[in-house]
Structure 1
Amino acid sequence: MADLFGSWNSRIRISIIILFVGFCSSCCCSNSRKDSSSIHSLLRSMGLPAGLVPKQVKSYTLGENDRLEVYLDGPCMAKYENRVIFESVFSANLSYGSLIGVEGMSQEELFLWLPVKDIIVNDPSSGVILIDIGVAHKQLSLSLFEDPPDCNPQAALRNPLRKRRDFESLR
């Protein structure tokens, strides 16, 4: 009888150890996410609209210094008020209500493609989002960014700016 309970207790201990190791490994690796819908939830929880990133997010990471990196299958173009190109990796410093130091995102303005620098929602009740494109600050309606847009990879490849960048990178 003692052997039966001893064997059963050791099985419980092993199960508890396995669960603990599994829990610890999930905590250690929690910065890397595969579920693209969770990026949209993360943005909402940080006071930003979910539609700032497209539906086609493959994965994302949130580093120690709150550096958010969003991974797509490739460059693609989305439409808000104007057209926007996302590179394969879109990144920014994430804090409540803002994405600062944006990299990998360009917006079309009067036939020019300008890099987006910052995205800020100072007051969600105002219904306004501020987009800093370097030479100007645009105030747009938050409603434009409520839902994640579809992102078209073929349209991004036809963009003349991408061709020029590719040529420069070959030199």
Structure 2
Amino acid sequence: MAASASRNMVVFFLGLFVLLLPLVSGGAIHEILRSKGLPEGLLPKAVKSFSLDESGRLDVYLDRPCYAKFDNRVLFDSVVRGNLSYGALTGMAGLSQEELFLWLPVKDIKVEDPGSGVILFDIGVAHKQLSISLFEYPPDCSPEDADRIVTPSSGFLGRKAGREGTAEQR
């Protein structure tokens, strides 16, 4: 009886460790993406930590907003959220992509046919197909312009006046 209780306790703590491991390290998120049929390079190297619950709700934490370049520039907020399932990251918040001088929120990312070499970005007004090879490796994420980029949620599409000044000052 004592051996059974001891074994149950070991199983319990091992299960708890497995559940809490994603909260500890940001590097493991790239491996999780790969295990879910998505490329590792969807999220930047700068991931500080993340949480993934049993329903697939993913919260990724960065030290600060930053931007990277895939096909076009993308802006990662300090928290990126979405629902992770095999081949898809849906219902996203915290990721915007620059299209024709506008910053549009990325709503879904999907790999519908892994053999096609194509990844699909849903940016609301359009679906954009990109080569999956653009996402092989986690990109570097640069914070220097992130404080000057204004996304649709802040009420203006374009760039904030920053070091360059406003249009009237130039």
The number of aligned residues is 150
| Secondary structure at 2:145 match in 1 | helix
Alignment RMSD (CA, Å): 2.3
- Give the drift of 1:165: 5.3
Inter-partner Cα distance in structure 2 for 1:96 and 1:28 = 18
Distance in 2 separating the partners of 1:77 and 1:44 = 22
Q: Aligned pair in 2 of structure 1 residues 92, 136: CA closer, same or farther (>3 Å)?
A: same
Q: What's the TM-score, normalizing by structure 2?
A: 0.80
Are positions 1:48 and 2:72 aligned together?
A: no
Q: 1:96 to 1:24 in 2, by over 3 A?
A: closer
Could you tell me which of 93, 96, 108 is aligned with 1:118? 108
Which AA in structure 1 matches 2:72? N
55 and 142 in structure 1: CA distance in 2 versus 1, 3 angstrom threshold? same
Give yes or no for the alignment of 1:134 onto 2:124.
yes
Match of residue 94 from structure 2: 104
Cα gap change, 1:118 to 1:45, in 2 (>3 Å): same
In the alignment, what sits opposite 1:151?
141
The equivalences for 1:1-171 within 5 A come to 20=10, 23=14, 25-27=16-18, 29-30=20-21, 32-161=22-151, 164=154
Q: Computing the radius of gyration over CA atoms, which structure comes out larger, 1 or 2?
A: 1
Alpha-carbon separation, structure 2, partners of 1:28 and 1:129: 29
Q: Which runs of 5+ in 2 are unaligned?
A: 157-170
Q: Percent identity?
A: 56
How far off its partner does 1:26 sit? Answer: 1.9
Structure 1 contact 97–121 (Cα < 8 Å) conserved: yes
Task: In structure 1, list runs of 5 or more residues that go unmatched.
Answer: 1-12, 167-171
Distance 1:93 1:76, change over 3 A: same
Q: Is the 8 A contact 1:72 1:89 kept in 2?
A: yes
Give the 3 Å change call, closer, same or farther, for CA 34–111 of structure 1 in structure 2. same
3-state SS of 2:38 partner: coil
Higher-helix-fraction structure: 1
TM-score, length-scaled by structure 1 = 0.79
Q: Any conservation in 1 of the 2:96–2:151 contact (CA below 8 Å)?
A: no
Distance 1:164 1:70 in 2: 21
